Amino acid sequence: MAGKLEGRVALVSGSGRGIGREIALKLASEGARVVVNDLDVDPASETADAIRASGGRAVVCAGSVTETGFAERFVQTGVDSFGGLDIIVNNAGYTWDSVVQKMTDEQWQAIIDVHLTAPFKILRAAQPVIAARAKEEAAAGKEVFRKVVNISSIAGTGGNAGQINYSAAKAGILGLTRTMAKEWGRYKVNVNAVAFGPIRTRLTEGSAGGANKITVGNREIKVGVNPDLLSQMERMIPLGRVGTPEEAAGAVYLFCLPESNFISGQYVICGGGFTI
């Protein structure tokens, strides 16, 4: 039996690790052909290899989503490799936290760039491809729906102390989502967002004293949540635990299904009932 996304072409940014990897695997398991992206080529290749090992199709487009020209290269990889573009998941990102009085201009701009400016550039680069296909389909009397799923956070829906840059970017994604739903409705594109609550990834693993670190370019950034705070948060989640990357991917998948063809400009919180 063919999957729900058979033959669709999906771009998933930040899909070498964590939630992005699970999104790529989920879409591929339902028949989508996936362009896998990560800052580093090795994790991106590992995700693509896992898709191929399961009988799916995937190619790699490595690099930072904030690089000049990346958006155009990402879109063109999907067109050149698979002949089209049907699903875009703007997932890439990281956190670089601080309270407002200690946050540098660099820290602010880096997070705005990766979480808000990069999705804008990817969608802008995709517009000529999507518009051309939509016009061809309309002329042939066909109604073909495409999907954009942007990733937000409960930090964007309710704010979060110590994350003014991340919260602002994730709130901006919701405005971007609603605007693009209005602009691209004529192309039969559903544009929605998923706002994640606490999901267990390397960015949220318990870290006493900032022991967990990631490398972004030439920066080494402390990540992770204080174990006591994480435990307290878990007790506040109505479902009783932090979510898994697989469950997070499931929420994104819902907006990629044909059953969501009349849903656009919306966001859903994937947080086990927890909201800020």
Active site residues: 166
Please compute, for residue 143, the number of CA atoms within 13 A of its CA located in the half-sphere on the CB side: 7
Name the β-bridge partners of 153.
196
Distance CA(136)–CA(138), nearest Å, equals: 6
Q: Is 228 exposed, middle or buried (0-12, 13-18, 19+ CB in 10 A)?
A: exposed
Instruction: Please report which helix (H) or strand (E) contains residue 122, including its range.
Output: helix 118-139
Tokens of 229: 């705070």
Q: Give helix 118-139 / helix 164-184 axis angle, nearest 10°.
A: 10
Closest alpha carbon to 9 in 26, 23, 28, 25: 28
Distance CA(105)–CA(126), nearest Å, equals: 30
Tokens of 48: 């693509």
